[in-house]
Structure 1
Amino acid sequence: MKKLFLAFAFCTLIFSASPKAHAHPHSWIDLETTLLFNEDGQITGLWVGWLFDDFYSAFTLEETPRNSMGGYDQSSLDALAKQNLKNLSEYSYFTFIHANGKTLPHKEVTKFKTFVDNNRLWMEFTVELETPVDPRTQKIDYAVYDPTYYVEILHAAKGDPIQMVGNVNGCGYSLTSPEPPEELSLMAAALDQDETAGDGIGISFAERVVLSCP
């Protein structure tokens, strides 16, 4: 997992400036998600939007060339997003969609967009399922999280960060907040930036979106 965050351009200079330098997580993402339905009311995938924290954004943008208008060079931002997504592909893009408790296979991400919003880096991408799934016949839920909890990913506190588009056909959702055991939280807080508790810790700190359909 460490190579993923090298691709994300993390470094100890960022974490030394943070009061949480010696605890997991080391970076934070404000999340937005949109479930995608086709005309038959089947789920075809999930659109995911990430707004990176100030520390990560500042470090990354410091190395990003400017264009002639003074803004950030879009081709450089696109190249960064493409590299990040290439590495994230090894970890299901931190996006896990389940039907009746089983993780659904997905296609390689090809649709993405990135830009800078108020000095914070934004990246969005679409995770398309290999086969559309009917939420009226199967129990569907999803979670977006880093399995190692190196990065904390939670839906944004403001606005309406969870959406559904297409032929929703009366479906709704509920959002379940994480409730990790106290001992697990203490263990995560004790981990240094170059330590990991393995790929199983992150799910305990993940939000879960559960669909309900008539």
Structure 2
Amino acid sequence: MLLYNTFGRCCARLGWRWGVLFSLLSLASPSVWAHPHSFIDIQTTVEGENDTITGLRMHWTMDPITSADLLYDAGKAKSDSEIWKKLAAEVMANVLGQHYFTEIYRDNVAVKFQPMPTEYHLSRQGNKAVLEFVLPLAHPQPLKGAPLQISTFDPTYFVDMSYQDKNAVRLAPVLAEHCKTALFTPKPSADLRSYALSLDKADAPDEDLALGKQFAQQITLECH
């Protein structure tokens, strides 16, 4: 399944634990298999220095089902153990393979990222796994100029990656006096929502449709 391939947890590796889970879920409402299948709660802090925007500090909280295998592998290991470091590296490698699942545009031009995060960390929060990392821009962006448009999403919409509200978008103290953010949540058409609901666990949406992007929230960052 795409989600577990994406985060390094494929169904074959999950074995009987996921087989039992899938069997149980198959007895429930068909809507359990509708897109999206998994959910990630996002918090983002825009970072900067010397009158520039330098990157994004991401905090991703995965839902319990998405988290289950990671937490099982971690067991009761301490947060600074080699097991957690190894799991963090596996998850981060797959996030990097998807370009951080993030797009930033300024004046209709894509803003490039550095190929590696400056830091990353995986931890447990109850029955949820939390990935934290810093996404650095390849070139710091000056505060003055066109607003930045920031979106984080899974292109297939297999995973819903969303902000709970505008308070989940923050500014580093150095930017607080100079910048403001706005969070836009799209309202896809009834036809598009029905199409997403019609997809089961084995279906992939039409690539030309850019399904995930049409459901993606957008941050507008404006500075002076």
Contact (CA 8 Å) 1:21, 1:193: kept in 2 or not? no
1:7 is paired with a residue of what secondary structure? coil
Deviation (angstroms), 1:166: 4.5
The structure with the greater share of residues assigned to helix is 2
Contact (CA 8 Å) 2:33, 2:201: kept in 1 or not? yes
Counterparts of 2:161 and 2:32 in 1: how far apart (Å)?
17
2:84 is matched with which residue? Answer: 77
2:164 is matched with which residue? Answer: 156
Counterparts of 2:58 and 2:23 in 1: how far apart (Å)?
29
1:116 is matched with which residue? Answer: 124
Counterparts of 1:35 and 1:6 in 2: how far apart (Å)?
24
Counterparts of 1:8 and 1:110 in 2: how far apart (Å)?
24
Residue of structure 1 aligned with 2:186, choices 178, 199, 203: 178
Counterparts of 1:125 and 1:155 in 2: how far apart (Å)?
16
1:145 is matched with which residue? Answer: 153
Q: Give the direction of change, closer, same or farther, for the CA distance of 1:184–1:138 in structure 2 (3 Å limit).
A: same
1:64-110 CA distances to partner (integer Å, 9 max, x unpaired)? Answer: 3323xxx5773222222211221221221112121112221111224
Q: How does 1:127-138 map to 2 (within 5 A)?
A: 127-138=135-146
TM normalised by structure 2 equals 0.83
Percent identity (aligned): 25
2:38 is matched with which residue? Answer: 27
Deviation (angstroms), 1:56: 1.6
1:172-198 CA distances to partner (integer Å, 9 max, x unpaired)? Answer: 011001211221111111111122115
Q: Give the direction of change, closer, same or farther, for the CA distance of 1:144–1:16 in structure 2 (3 Å limit).
A: farther
Contact (CA 8 Å) 2:7, 2:91: kept in 1 or not? no
Contact (CA 8 Å) 2:179, 2:221: kept in 1 or not? yes
Counterparts of 2:140 and 2:203 in 1: how far apart (Å)?
38
Q: Does 1:91 find its partner at 2:118? A: no
Q: Give the direction of change, closer, same or farther, for the CA distance of 1:196–1:74 in structure 2 (3 Å limit).
A: farther
Q: Does 1:209 find its partner at 2:219? A: yes
2:167 is paired with a residue of what secondary structure? coil
Q: Which stretch shifts more, 55-64 or 27-36?
A: 55-64
Residue of structure 1 aligned with 2:200, choices 178, 192, 207: 192
1:136-171 CA distances to partner (integer Å, 9 max, x unpaired)? Answer: 2122110111111110011135x9321111532421
Q: Does 1:47 find its partner at 2:57? A: yes
User: Structure 1: which amino acid aligns with 2:85?
Assistant: D
Q: Which stretch shifts more, 30-39 or 196-205?
A: 196-205
Q: Give the direction of change, closer, same or farther, for the CA distance of 1:96–1:64 in structure 2 (3 Å limit).
A: same
Count residues with an aligned counterpart.
Answer: 209
TM normalised by structure 1 equals 0.86
Task: Give the alignment's Cα RMSD to 1 decimal.
Answer: 2.4
* Unpaired runs of at least 5, structure 2: none
Counterparts of 2:81 and 2:128 in 1: how far apart (Å)?
14
1:63 is paired with a residue of what secondary structure? helix
